[in-house]
Amino acid sequence: MGSIAMERTEEMTDTTERVDEDAIEARTSTPNRAGLRLLAGFMFVNVGLVLALSWSTYEMGQQLDTTNQVLNKQLAASGELSKKLDAALEQHTALESELSELRQHVSSQSEEDVIFLKIVVTKREIDRNLARKIAQHVHHYARAYGQDPDLVLAIIATESDFDPDAVSSVGALGLMQVMPQWKQVLGIRENLTEPETSIRYGLQILGFYRNMYKDLEMALTAYNRGPGPVDMALMRGKSPLNGYAPRVLQTYKELQSLRVGMKVG
């Protein structure tokens, strides 16, 4: 009887211990499972975020590729447009240059025609071919040496009356009556009776005297008399004028006021 009670007591004790162990195990395992579930949920969320981010990155990459393609097409179109604009600008510049040359040509021809007509009006019996040649050289060299064509015509009219073969009593030759000693001074090899030679070097001499005296009347007087007599008269306090300069200036004034009509083809 006593041994039976002791056995029951031991069984109850064992049972109680197993119940306690099961309770402890249950309490311990319950939080672990909850943590695993929480970890699993967290990992699922992270995986979802990674997948969503990856898809978003993919879409952004596609959009960027599309944008780059559009930009490249626009840049290519812009490059073509730029080339077309450059070509148009080159054509415009070339056209402007051609128009400028044409205007200069027309202006040059018009000025030369005016000179020609003034020669014909001044000396009506002059050969037209000679008048045209004189007009051509007067226009060219007057512009080259910065002289007024009307002044050049006035000198020619006074010096030689438009006769290229004129020779003065002191040996001056040609349209502008250039003295032979100037051939050595200026290195002239051509014939002074040639219209171009006479006009070209006559204007060089006139320019030399205009720079020397800074006065047109004195320069014209020196052109006719030479600088020696002019300087000597000035040193003596006398007028070097001999009537030549006033005649040239009068003709010059008449040529400036002359209005000629013309048609330029």
Crossing angle of the two packed helices 216-225 and 244-257, in degrees rounded to 10: 120
| 17 tagged catalytic | no
Distance, C-alpha 252 to centroid of its chain: 39
Is the Cβ–Cβ distance between 152 and 138 less than 8 Å?
yes
Termini Cα distance of the chain? 159
Tell me which H or E stretch contains 45. helix 2-122
Is the Cβ–Cβ distance between 138 and 145 less than 8 Å?
no
Q: How many helices (H) and strands (E) would you count in the chain?
A: 8, 0
- Give phi and psi for 38, each to the nearest 5: -65, -40
List 96, 112, 125, 159, catalytic entry: 159
How far lies 165's CA from each of 20, 108, 114, 155, 157, in Å? 153, 28, 24, 16, 13
Length of the chain: 265
Catalytic residue positions? 159
